[in-house]
Structure 1
Amino acid sequence: MSTIVPVNVVIERSDAMIRVIIADDHPVVLAGISREVAQNDKFQVAGEAANSTELVKLLESAACDVVVTDYSMPGGRFGDGLTMLQMLRRRYPDTRIVVMTMLDNPALIRSIQKAGVSAILSKGDKLSHVAPAIQAAFGGTTYFPKSVWDVLNADGPLNQQDEVRLSKRELEVLRLCASGMPIVEIARNANRSSKTISAQKSVAMKKLGLNNDHDLYQYAVATGLLSQVQ
């Protein structure tokens, strides 16, 4: 059985083994995933991290083939969610990623895909999905358990472009709301009522399956909406 390695410790490995770093801000979850990985003779646990600061520190010091990381892991210097995933893909392009999440929003799951992640697990899945997800990510193939496929298919075909289903006004309202502009100010600038702007925002978010402003912001970051705000 492989040994779980503390943060920042580098270990040697057999070329036949896949080196894995696990990141989660919940100690019990982190321990459970690490134990599941360590007991597989095809894997070697290269380290554990509780946030993006520790994860990047590990990646700078330990050889790693696959990162298994929680999606929501606040408190780190490099953020979490899509911001962290996009940073990891830019900074460590040869390191594969498996994302664990409680998200049940198809737009956000697709955004994780667009960030370059091909293996996504629900935290409600059995631990038995961890090993095949790591192997799929390492091999550059897709791994989605049924729970994730169900979310992705909840609002239509996987290749459907979410923005196409929005009117120009709805898209503009979402852009401005995602940038942090208050609805009252958006209404004043557009010479419309706050009630109208609020309704357009609500309809647009419903079309995309977004539940709150945090979801909207994450979606805007992933799809480039924020970069289009003048």
Structure 2
Amino acid sequence: MNWNVEPNTRQRFFQTSDSRTHTTNEINMVQLRVVLADDHPFVRLGVRSAVSAHADIVIAGESANPTSLIELLQKVRCDVLVTDLSMPEADGTIDDGMRLVRRIRCDWPALRIVVLTSLASPVIARSILLDGAVSLLNKAGSMDELVSAIRSASAGHVHISQSILAALTEVDGVPPVSLSTRCLSPRETEVVGMFVRGRSVSEIARVLGRDIRTVSRQKRIAMAKLGVDNDPALFAYVRVHGTV
């Protein structure tokens, strides 16, 4: 996230977070347990401070390298992992960040993952997003976006930073994978296909001769099946997995 802020700004942010008064409903709600992994202490501090302003999210543990992260996940229950993609080990060696993500997805398949990265490679972004349980955020993004991504991930949705989405849309050449393999009905597939090709919901309804509420519902159900919660994420999903 964008941690390059003036000292006074950081101080005001921390004071606001620490002095927040939580309502009774907030205190009684079920909290999302988040594990945070990043080798930069100030990044962890910034994320921790941002999360502390929200009563429904709690940091269950922190890690500074891949090995300690695996050990932490074996001991601590969590709902969402927020992790850097390229963390060095304690001895300074750097392993493939994608290998770490794949191992975590294999060992903890129910765990939702939000990857923070400053890497701009569309190839890496595609590789990460091919797993429907992984969200992807640019470290230059806002803290509010991170909180939103954590909540979306916990609900089973995928959140993608706009800058990463823009990079994805500039690259071609990925072998297509039919959306129909993700259990969309023929009508849902038809609606999604027309929508990502530029037609509005009202235009789709007119072309297909359906009620606009029916088309809107079919689009909403299709997005839920694909694990995306907004239109940019739907466009990115289609871009990564292929067209219909």
TM-score interval w.r.t. the shorter chain? 0.5 to 0.7
Helix, strand or coil: the match of 2:103? helix
1:194-223 CA-to-partner distances (Å, cap 9, x unmatched) read xxxxxxxxxxxxxxxxxxxxxxxxxxxxxx
For 2:138, the equivalent position in structure 1 comes to 122
1:125-169 CA-to-partner distances (Å, cap 9, x unmatched) read 111111110011111111112111111112148xx428xxxxxxx
Mapping of residues 23-172 of structure 1, within 5 Å: 23-75=37-89, 79-156=95-172, 160-161=174-175
Q: Once the two structures are aligned, what percentage of the paired residues are identical?
A: 34
Aligned length: 150
Helix, strand or coil: the match of 1:20? strand
Cα distance in 2 for partners of 1:69, 1:14 equals 28
* Alpha carbons 2:88, 2:94 under 8 Å: kept: no
* Alpha carbons 1:53, 1:78 under 8 Å: kept: no
Following superposition, the deviation at residue 40 of structure 1 comes to 1.1
Root mean square deviation, CA, Å: 2.4
Cα distance in 2 for partners of 1:109, 1:134 equals 18
1:15-54 CA-to-partner distances (Å, cap 9, x unmatched) read 6110001000011111111111122111011011001111
Q: Are 1:20 and 2:34 an aligned pair? A: yes
Cα distance in 2 for partners of 1:38, 1:51 equals 23
Cα distance in 1 for partners of 2:110, 2:80 equals 9
Aligned residue identity for 1:22? L
Following superposition, the deviation at residue 55 of structure 1 comes to 1.1
Helix, strand or coil: the match of 2:45? helix
Aligned residue identity for 2:121? N
Q: Could you state the TM-score of these two structures normalised by the residue count of structure 1?
A: 0.60
- Compare 90-99 and 34-43 and name the one that shifted more: 34-43
Helix, strand or coil: the match of 2:60? strand
Cα distance in 2 for partners of 1:139, 1:154 equals 29
Q: What 5-or-longer segments of structure 2 have no aligned partner?
A: 1-16, 19-26, 177-244
Following superposition, the deviation at residue 119 of structure 1 comes to 1.2
**Runs of 4+ that moved beyond 6 A:** none
Mapping of residues 148-227 of structure 1, within 5 Å: 148-156=164-172, 160-161=174-175
Cα distance in 1 for partners of 2:155, 2:94 equals 27
Cα distance in 2 for partners of 1:14, 1:62 equals 21
* Alpha carbons 1:118, 1:140 under 8 Å: kept: no
Cα distance in 2 for partners of 1:14, 1:22 equals 23
Aligned residue identity for 2:125? I
1:92-121 CA-to-partner distances (Å, cap 9, x unmatched) read 111110000011111110001124443110
Cα distance in 2 for partners of 1:118, 1:84 equals 13
Cα distance in 1 for partners of 2:87, 2:67 equals 10
For 2:210, the equivalent position in structure 1 comes to none
Q: Could you state the TM-score of these two structures normalised by the residue count of structure 2?
A: 0.56
Cα distance in 2 for partners of 1:15, 1:57 equals 28
Q: What 5-or-longer segments of structure 1 have no aligned partner?
A: 3-12, 163-230
Aligned residue identity for 2:99? T
